[in-house]
Amino acid sequence: AEDAVQDTLVRAWRSYDKFEGRSSLRSWLYRIATNVCLDMLSAGNKRARPMDLTESTPLAQAALSPRPDHTWLEPMPDA
């Protein structure tokens, strides 16, 4: 989100001389922000994300361990 704000302000600064004043400054900035967000979505997320490459926890190991193909349930005894 911070990247989108920064890109919006940079684009607005660079193109302020093209602002004709036919609309409000707010709607002009809103349109720039919308275009920046759409550009970011279409470009995909190309930034590398940090990954944790440390030992996995025992809980994660248990989730990855093989499980039986069938789990058999016994009928509930009559009380």
Q: How many whole angstroms separate alpha carbon 43 and alpha carbon 50?
A: 20
Task: Give mean pLDDT in consecutive 10-residue pieces for the chain, a chain of 79 residues.
Answer: 90 91 91 93 73 67 68 74
pTM listed for this prediction = 0.53
Segments making up each domain of the chain, as ranges: 1-45
